[in-house]
Structure 1
């Protein structure tokens, strides 16, 4: 049975048509959304919500062109909405975490500036590829596989460069007693 005929029957409250429509499109849509999120649970939730909304709003459905195109568009826009909500939530949690850390540590601007300067010196002293890998990850927020693609190197090589960078930075701060994870924010200010 064609999609347009199934939609027509769904609009008439035909649960069997809805079940056939769901079974026909569910798995391919999950695969499609998973290609964006790489998270099966997220993809399944999004697709299930699209189908739930389809049933709830079945009387108002007006699909003039491709039913499949409509479904995939709804799933994609739902994914984008979910991604934005999750990003806002992550940003808010990151801000809260940073504020909590700052509140727990007495500020010494001169000391912080010296440490930021030292960090910049250590980063500048890294070998060129190691420095590029480190900055692409820490300043630009790229993931290891994205860096590997951009620099045309393997993911293992990226991991090796990151380990080297962290080792040199740890050694550079070895005698200061400074906790390295707190300096992350300084990299963006300095």
Structure 2
């Protein structure tokens, strides 16, 4: 491992946001491209890379990297992609079994989709202003965290934190109302 990798890892472990942003900016795009080669979906690839970086930041104090930083990041993305594919496979298998057994009840699609969309949009509108703006830029305008940070003149980490916060709030609100 290079001296600069060791320095960056140690700085991230200590909570240095600038070091984290350096790593994020340096690897984000190529990691997204790599994830895309596995999952074959641009949005899914971005989500995987963003959630991997968020997980690294959240667990930074326990971060132990014995390989190069690049190798660690690529391995983390690779494993996350495989886990997502496995999860989707299990979900598809369950749905097929449920349909075959007649256990799966399906509401009228247009009514269900319309009600769900209204609930989601209401939950998004109820988010705090900055959180809502960042979430909409990320999900609806498909901007990267780095682009949002630059546009709003905030750090990439702030963007990641706000998107994570929005997702937690939305999950809570949408599961509590069902």
- Which residue in 1 is equivalent to 2:11? 9
Structure 1 unaligned segments of length 5 or more: list them.
Answer: 102-190
Structure 2 unaligned segments of length 5 or more: list them.
Answer: 104-178
CA distance in 1, matches of 2:5, 2:37: 24
CA distance in 2, matches of 1:26, 1:4: 19
- Which residue in 1 is equivalent to 2:75? 73
Helix, strand or coil at the partner of 1:45: helix
- TM-score (norm: length of structure 2): 0.53
CA distance in 2, matches of 1:35, 1:4: 29
CA distance in 1, matches of 2:67, 2:79: 18
CA distance in 2, matches of 1:29, 1:2: 20
Q: How many residues align?
A: 101
Out of 40, 43, 48, which is 2:42 matched to?
40
Runs of 4+ in structure 1 over 3 Å off: none
Deviation (angstroms), 1:88: 0.5
Q: Is the 8 A contact 1:29 1:75 kept in 2?
A: yes
Deviation (angstroms), 1:99: 2.3
More relative contact order, 1 or 2 (CA 8 Å, 6+ apart): 2
- TM-score (norm: length of structure 1): 0.50
CA RMSD of aligned residues (A): 1.7
Deviations 1:75-104 (A, max 9, x none): 111111111111110111111122229xxx
